[in-house]
């Protein structure tokens, strides 16, 4: 089943944000009202920018981002990977999940992608339940209008998971994440069963910002992947940076 869910109507593409200056290394939690106000304003602005991408630009950026993931050691070494179904023009990772046996014959395809076990989330009340997914398994529309595995799909235990690809509205250079406000991933990543799992935040480059307003309970991700490359969140080290399609 095609992983792309229905999307909002697309307007003309806007220019990407310019590169931002380096962030300070030590996080400082702000007061709750101040942090909340900044998060609401930034979330609204970045979602609008994301919605403004034409389908062609969104597709190109998503393909470049996927190519960088395939070159990242964290991704290459992981066997079981948790991903997501794109909504609201999030970076689309479906090209990584939707390979069939015939794809093994395609030139340039990295076989470690084909050998992975994938997990997709299902919203259960205020938590995420993770289920094994492959292209032959159906998806259904969940409580929030997001495609998700059926309730009887096999589940994944935390012990078997090697990497979590975390969707976000924005990530900063320290690895802190701005989500949609529901707290699903905050609760997941603060749980003892999941807290030590390797994580990569997935955003477009215009949403990788120098410094987010954070709360005392916010936890940083280990890396951030955009269409420019994969960045180590701890030391702002670029782990991969290349043009996978050989274009200027």
- Per residue in 126-144, pLDDT tens? 899 999 998 888 899 987 8
For residue 2, pLDDT beyond 80 = no
Q: How far is 80 from 28, CA to CA, in rounded Å?
A: 34
For residue 14, pLDDT beyond 50 = no
Task: Return the pLDDT at 136.
Answer: 85
Residue count of the chain, please give it: 248
Average pLDDT of span 32-46: 85
Q: How far is 22 from 235, CA to CA, in rounded Å?
A: 11
For residue 59, pLDDT beyond 90 = yes
Per the CB < 8 A criterion, the answer to whether 84 and 165 are in contact is: yes
Provide the token pair at 187: 């609760």
User: Over the stretch 216-236, which tens digit does the pLDDT of each residue have?
Assistant: 888 999 999 999 999 998 654
For residue 189, pLDDT beyond 60 = yes
For residue 56, pLDDT beyond 50 = yes
- Measure CA 164 to chain center: 9
**Residue whose token pair is 């991903």:** 83
Task: Return the pLDDT at 239.
Answer: 64
Per the CB < 8 A criterion, the answer to whether 9 and 88 are in contact is: no
Mean pLDDT of the chain: 81
Report all structural domains of the chain as residue ranges with CATH numbers, in order of start: 32-98+110-169+181-236 (3.40.50.10420)
Q: How far is 149 from 7, CA to CA, in rounded Å?
A: 19
pTM of the complete model: 0.79
Buried b (16+ CB within 10 A) or exposed e, 181-196: eeebbbebbeeeebee
Share of the chain above pLDDT 70, in %: 73
For residue 77, pLDDT beyond 70 = yes
Torsion of CA 188, 73, 212, 123, to 10 degrees: -30
Average pLDDT of span 202-207: 98
């Amino acid at each position: 089943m095609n992983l792309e869910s229905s999307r909002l109507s697309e307007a003309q593409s806007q220019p990407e944000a310019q590169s931002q200056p380096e962030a300070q290394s030590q996080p400082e939690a702000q007061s709750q009202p101040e942090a909340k106000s900044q998060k609401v304003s930034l979330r609204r602005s970045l979602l609008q920018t994301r919605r403004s991408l034409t389908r062609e630009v969104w597709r190109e950026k998503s393909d470049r981002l996927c190519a960088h993931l395939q070159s990242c050691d964290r991704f290459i070494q992981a066997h079981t990977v948790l991903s997501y179904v794109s909504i609201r023009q999030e970076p689309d990772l479906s090209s990584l999940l939707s390979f069939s046996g015939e794809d093994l014959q395609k030139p340039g395809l990295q076989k470690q992608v084909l050998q992975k076990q994938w997990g997709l989330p299902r919203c259960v009340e205020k938590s995420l339940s993770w289920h094994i997914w492959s292209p032959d398994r159906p998806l259904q529309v969940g409580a929030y209008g997001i495609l998700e595995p059926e309730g009887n799909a096999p589940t994944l235990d935390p012990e078997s998971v090697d990497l979590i690809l975390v969707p976000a509205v924005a990530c900063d250079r320290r690895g802190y994440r701005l989500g949609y406000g529901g707290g699903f991933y905050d609760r997941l990543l603060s749980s003892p069963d999941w807290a030590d799992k390797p994580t990569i935040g997935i955003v477009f480059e215009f949403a990788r910002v120098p410094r987010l307003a954070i709360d005392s309970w916010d936890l940083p991700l280990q890396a951030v992947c955009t269409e420019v490359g994969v960045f180590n969140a701890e030391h702002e080290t670029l782990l991969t940076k290349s043009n996978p399609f050989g274009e200027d």
